[in-house]
A and B are shown apart, each in its own frame.
Chain A
Amino acid sequence: MFDVAIIGCGITGAATAFMLSKYKLNLVVLEKENDIALGATRANSAIIHAGYDPKPGTMMARLNVRGCELAETLSKDLDVSYIKNGSLVLAFSEKEMETVKELYDRGVKNGVPGQKILSKEEVLEMEPHVSSAVIGALYAPSAGIINPWEYALAFAETAVLNGCEIRLNSGVTGIEKADFGYRLHTEEGYVDAKFVVNSAGVDSAAVHEMVAPKAFTIKPSRGDYYLMDKAEGNKAKCVLFQCPSEAGKGVLVSPTVHGNLIVGPNAVSCTDAHRVNTTQEGLAFVKQMAAKSVPDINYRNAIRNFAGMRANTDRDDFIIGMAQDQFLDLAGIKSPGLTSAPAIGEEAVKILSENGLTLIPKENPVTTRKTLRFKHLSGEEKARLVKENPLYGRVICRCETITEGEIVQAIHSPVPPVSIDGVKRRAGSGMGRCQGGFCGPRVLEILARETGKPPLSIMKDKEGSYILTEEIKKEAKS
């Protein structure tokens, strides 16, 4: 019997697990995929929003500003790549300047610290690659950028170290009400829990309807992105937004925590929330819109395109509250969901406690985490490390300088990866300009070796994404 079962291990579920894991509770997270953070968490703009955007007085406004504040300390404690580089909302017309002023006022009401309205000259001095058609901007110094899946992994891994169980390949197929709480049927047997948290992302409406009448509708919205080589990374220093208008929120241009440049997204309503394909039109639109902010991006330096799915709903605010006794919805967590996640986790703890969950703090919960990154070490530290463990002297991913030591360390981390992309999200291998062309076969070999699995069974990503089809030349090898 678990005290709390969390359905879905995206950033919301992971942050909630982390917050709950500081208490004496028997916790389980049920994730339908073969790894955590495979939904909206892995494909988004990777922005920590300052919080001037949500309507004052909403849950979203409060949780956004709180989440932005928490990102700074949590990223330090949990060793997550994060840069507080600030954001600009660029205005290209007097009308857009009006919007900038409105956003400024909203920011003040929401408690966003340090905002400033900048003149054209100030913008261009800060951001020399921004189009000279700019006439001013809203500057929010508390905004930043983060590695979203690393953030989710940091929460999940720390929760696991605090005793939380994470069950992969365990999609919830049905929920039964019981005396003690709920019986959750999954693809891998059932789980009993006193309290249930629904953080199932684009599937959160379906999960809600397993225990309660239909209350909201998910309206999935897809967005396409370009990720550029580090050669383009200097084209923006801050997160560069465009003014929101009737036509949409605009396309952003931003550096990433790894030094690349990200450009996107568009917004397309979808019927299938699980198909995250890019389209020709989408990518062309992103390029065209981004040129308004930064005209000189060289798309020959693109290294990847991807699309992400927003769990938009028919409501303006997040849907956070009890759906039934002992059943909490954390649903419709759309943008700024990544920023808000730890604040949503705190909120979940508070609501569950108000609704009967007994919280006894652990004496010494794990609240810190440290990941070794070879390339960030000094020469002396590198020399010492390689001497101690020669695996750190073998570079596997040449584009990102990721060593075999780091890959092995990732494979044996608290939430172990089972795929090449799972290793990529933890160690960073294959993130660079060759996109795993060189290191893919070597990571496959190491993953097979370390997990004792046959190479043919190693997946690129989700279940079913096999890489190799059969062995050839068996005699030659033996």
Chain B
Amino acid sequence: MKRGLVIIGGGPAGLAAAIKASESGADDILIIERDKSLGGILNQCIHNGFGLHRFKEELSGPEYAGRFIKMLESTSVSVMTDTMVLDVTGDKKVVCVSAEHGYMEIEAGAIVLAMGCRERTRGAIGIPGDRPSGVFTAGTAQRYLNLEGYMCGRRVVILGSGDIGLIMARRMSLEGAKVLACVEVMPYSGGLMRNIVQCLEDFDIPLYLSHTVTDVVSENGRVSRITVQKVDDKRMPIKGTEMHFDCDTLLLSVGLIPENELTKAAGIEIDPRTNGAIVSENMETSIPGVFASGNVVHVHDLVDYVSMESERAGQAAAEYLKNPSEVSCALEIKNGASVTYTVPKRIKNTEKPVGVFFRVNRIFEKSAIRVTAGDEILVSYPRAHMAPGEMEKITLTSETLKKAQRKSIVISCEEAN
């Protein structure tokens, strides 16, 4: 089977990419979605707060997804749900299978990778103790509550202050559970400020910064007690600071990992800092004609930006289908002081402004983002506050890009004086 553009994933990234590609003149677009319906993780995010940037109103996750699904209906994009992609090759062959359509091998003109991310687990962070039931990632608990309609705990401790954990603190409280504590190993929260206020403070749930879970004890197969300890600046537990919580549930919100097994198998270059594909400003990966966008590239904190980024990917894929040429990289973006990563990492076209997403590795109060080339400061952006939990975005103008008479520019952050 031959198709024009194959989009892997029908969550917010895949939907936005498909719609934009269609608007940009691509035809024969196919979305492959592994779940039974489009919308991805938004379907279980029944809280509000989505769409403030995009639609200037507060929507729930399903509502946000619904707007895009509605837009999709007016295009000729075709959709295969309940279909799993098993393999993507470097020459753009997509192998997939579903109960309805059987086993398929599709030759794609272009591909957008939009598989999203998955949660880090207990095993990934090595929490010692018993291995009972009652330890869930926050997203799994969210699925049980919001999609399956079941509660999965009555007395809860949450490790990690990522946004899903915070949202679940509130959600489980509303369903009658007692959330005893939210425990964060870093000295600052990993989630959005608004979620700390609305999900913890409004419910009198204590947040223990610089603390972690050091033991899990079970009784008759289910969690019965959690030990929490303060950590030193090397994140090692401090003896004598043990606190015990009698509870039946431990929720984990300890980070998200872009899901790039297909990407790696295709031989696409990966940025070890993001665990996602290295992309240029049009979201093209190291394989021409293969694009990636959304949480599969780097973990976003707002879906609005996922949509924005994915539209770039969709448009670029449409352009590639019209003119499948390989454009070389003009400029590379390097991580300077306090910058963990940037997306994009490469810039091909310096004629147009380029939006750059990045994250800082610590809390900044009054500070400046600097873009430099060699010793020369190209541009500087003031900031009142920056935190690792909140993604930063700057737009580099064409003038700035052209000023950089080098192969690379550096983005760094420092306190303003």
Which residues on A are within 8 Å of B, measured CB to CB?
226-227, 275-280, 282-283, 299-300, 302-306, 375, 379, 382-383, 386-387, 390-391, 393-395, 398-399, 401, 404, 433-435, 437-438, 440-441, 445, 455-456, 459-474, 476-477
Contact = CB atoms under 8 A, between A and B. Distances in A.
Given A467-B152, A469-B152, A476-B149, A393 B97 contact: yes
A305 B121 CA distance: 11
Contact of A382 (B103, B129, B130, B237): B103
Nearest to A396: B84
Contacts of B139: 437
11 contacts: A283-B128, A303-B124, A305-B126, A383-B103, A386-B97, A386-B103, A438-B118, A462-B221, A463-B220, A467-B133, A469-B151
Interface of B: 34, 82, 84, 86, 95, 97-103, 105, 118-119, 121-124, 126, 128-134, 136-137, 139-140, 143-145, 147-154, 175, 214-217, 220-222, 237, 248, 261
B97 A382 contact: yes
Contacts of A435: 121-123
B123 A227 contact: yes
Given A393-B101, A441-B140, 19 more contacts: A303-B124, A304-B121, A305-B128, A379-B95, A390-B99, A395-B84, A395-B86, A438-B118, A438-B140, A441-B144, A441-B147, A445-B148, A455-B148, A461-B133, A461-B221, A469-B154, A470-B151, A471-B149, A471-B150
Contacts of A438: 118, 140
Chain B binding surface SS class:
mixed
A473 B153 CA distance: 16
Given A302-B126, A435-B123, A394 B132 contact: no
Contact of B103 (A283, A393, A468): A393
A464 B220 contact: yes
Given A461-B221, A462-B221, A468 B151 contact: yes
Given A303-B123, A379-B95, A393 B140 contact: no
Given A275-B130, A401-B86, A468 B118 contact: no
B220 to A, nearest CB: 4
Nearest to A420: B133
Contact of A466 (B126, B129, B222): B222
B119 A395 contact: no
Chain A binding surface SS class:
mixed
Nearest to A405: B99
> What are the nearest 10 A-B pairs in CB distance?
A465-B221, A464-B221, A304-B123, A460-B133, A464-B220, A395-B84, A390-B99, A383-B103, A465-B133, A393-B99
Contacts of A467: 133-134, 144, 152
Contacts of B119: 434, 437
Contact of B237 (A280, A398, A441): A280
A477 B415 CA distance: 53
Nearest to A382: B103
A391 to B, nearest CB: 7
Nearest to A228: B123
Contacts of A390: 99-100, 102
A306 B140 contact: no
Nearest to A432: B261
B82 to A, nearest CB: 6
A461 B134 CA distance: 11
A218 B148 CA distance: 45
A335 B413 CA distance: 56
Given A390-B99, A395-B84, A435-B123, A465 B175 contact: no
